[in-house]
Amino acid sequence: MRTIGHFINGKAVEGTSGRFGDIYNPSTGEVQAKVAFATKAEMRHAVEVAKKAFVEWRAVNPQRRARVMFAFKALVEKHMDELAHMLSSEHGKVLADSRGDVQRGLEVIEFACGIPHLQKGEYTEGAGPSIDIYSMRQPLGVVAGITPFNFPAMIPMWMFGVAIACGNTFICKPSEKDPSVPMRLAELMMEAGAPAGVLQVVNGDKEAVDAILDDHDIQAVSFVGSSAIAQYVYARGTANGKRVQAMGGAKNHAIIMPDADLDQVTNELIGAGYGSAGERCMAISVAVPVGKKTADALVARLKPRVESLKVGVATDPDADYGPMVTAQHRDKVKAYIDQGVKEGARLVVDGRGFKLQGYENGYYLGGSLFDHVTPEMGTYQDEIFGPVLQIARAEDFDSALALPTNHQYGNGVAIFTRDGDAAREFASRVQVGMVGINVPIPVPLAYHTFGGWKRSAFGDVNQHGPEGVRFWTRVKTVTARWPKGGVRENASFVIPTMK
């Protein structure tokens, strides 16, 4: 059976801990590989290698670092199909979705290709008598990313693309459920011309995570995962003096106003709610129709569409979505559906009994649809992270606005309306980090920034875009004076001013 180790100092190496995790094929339920879990000593070795590589890499000028990014982008595009099949075999998402996973990561690599401009500082000539002031953005050193199972290509590239372009060296600790794509990306980064040690992949579980958070040479950590773990990573990392951005869970609402085009809304909700089996932090999981007439009409449209969703193996080009990542996660989502029924929500479509003929051991779950969900229900308060859409009816605009505003999560939200004034007011007042107006999944493009509010994000700086450059660098400001001649004999004991 294939065994996956680590990628350290420019090459794949075997793990030495003797501890391994199983990697499943979600479409069949079979164990297809084992992944080594790193020890603290193995992580420390990777840090030492990255620390040594940083000395060389930080001295490479931004234009040459950008050329490595251009070459890496071309290589990833060349190997797109290989990466997509690799991703689908371990995660379970359909191939078209896997290609989208890779492509959205590449968009951040494209952004990072502009690092010669993005990393420029500021300059003021003549700030005082013969005084000039300038600033520079310098890399932090060895940095790390802890990435989730649901986007094993996109999120690593979101992190290491900007970090490496800025001159840092990067250690990626991917999800132990699907580590093959990050390993392959590290190989391609070396092929693109990055020196050994610039990008390394260390696989593992909590022991590896804690080793990252505790290592004194790792300057910054980026994390994406559940809110409970995000809070843990933020607290432990910052307690150890690190810069930390930790993105957590979500409960994304879609507000449907009475004037919305319900046919468009239905299409958008089907894709945003059930795509990738709902395993997206930006999935729409709660639809909020305003008014009984709107709600009844929406449910009538959604019910047959959910019932007709095609669930299939990851390689089926006609499948709407594939299996869930593990049996444990599938069973967890089933338990949430059980809970919703007990709490009194109306289960309009029940996907719990779905079986795919010939693949009965795969981790499949049909689409489920709930109506009459209320804010006090546990299934509304929690992130289900599966192919389950909940309808929470609202009487008017203000009560609809209150639902995402008052929720513990604040990642993304959308409003569907033809009324520009209502959309503008909603975007201004809602307490959520990313807002879509007639856009169901408001993930900003790479040259903007990604990040939620409340328990969806811990830390003050978001991912990619200009915020990403700020996170992976620190500012140094220089005040310089070049006297015209002579030596000043009298010392000044007053703080310098520009009077």
Which of 18-22, 128-132, 162-166, 424-428 shows the lowest per-residue confidence on average (mean pLDDT)?
128-132
Residues 260 and 235 grouped into a single domain: no
Residue 1 is predicted with a pLDDT of 86
pTM over 0.75: yes
Residues 278 and 230 grouped into a single domain: no
Residue count (the chain): 499
Interval 285-300 mean pLDDT: 98
496 occurs within a structural domain: no
| 212-251: pLDDT as tens digits | 999 999 999 999 999 999 999 999 999 999 999 999 999 9
Structure-block tokens of residue 353:
């009994």
Three-state secondary-structure class, residue 249: coil
Residue 59 is predicted with a pLDDT of 97
Which of 245-254, 349-358, 380-389, 486-495 shows the lowest per-residue confidence on average (mean pLDDT)?
486-495
Computed over its alpha carbons, how large is the radius of gyration of the chain?
A: 25
Residues 137 and 52 grouped into a single domain: yes
Interval 361-371 mean pLDDT: 97
Give yes or no for residue 487 having a pLDDT over 60: no
As for how many domains the chain has, the answer is 2
Q: Which amino acids are annotated catalytic?
A: 281
Residues 274 and 423 grouped into a single domain: yes
| 298-352: pLDDT as tens digits | 999 999 999 999 999 999 999 999 999 999 999 999 999 999 999 999 999 999 9
Give yes or no for residue 489 having a pLDDT over 70: no
CATH number (domain holding residue 402): 3.40.309.10
Q: 129 falls in which pLDDT band (50, 70, 90)?
A: confident
62 occurs within a structural domain: yes
498 occurs within a structural domain: no
**By the 8 A CB rule, do 182 and 484 touch?**
no
CA 33 to chain centre: 25
Three-state secondary-structure class, residue 31: strand
Give yes or no for residue 486 having a pLDDT over 60: no
Give the full edge-to-edge strand order of the sheet including 131-139. 123-128, 131-139, 473-481
| 52-100: pLDDT as tens digits | 999 999 999 999 999 999 999 999 999 999 999 999 999 999 999 999 9
Residue 498 is predicted with a pLDDT of 61
**Which residue range is the domain that position 131 belongs to?**
2-248+456-478
444 occurs within a structural domain: no
Alpha carbon separation from 4 to 47, 170, 206, 233 (Å, rounded): 20, 19, 18, 25
Structure-block tokens of residue 46:
């990777």
CATH number (domain holding residue 184): 3.40.605.10
Residues 28 and 63 grouped into a single domain: yes
Residues 150 and 57 grouped into a single domain: yes
* Nearest Cα residue to 197 out of 457, 8, 351: 8
3-state SS string for 404-448: HHHCCEECEEEEECCCHHHHHHHHHHCCCCEEEECCCCCCCCCCC
Residues 80 and 184 grouped into a single domain: yes
Q: What angle do CA 125, 127, 132 make, to 5 degrees?
A: 50
CB atoms within 10 A of CB 413: 31
Tell me the sheet residues that pair with 454.
409
443 occurs within a structural domain: no
- For the chain, how are helix, strand and coil distributed in percent, rounded to 5? 40, 25, 40
Structure-block tokens of residue 472:
């992976």
CA distance 112 to 103: 14
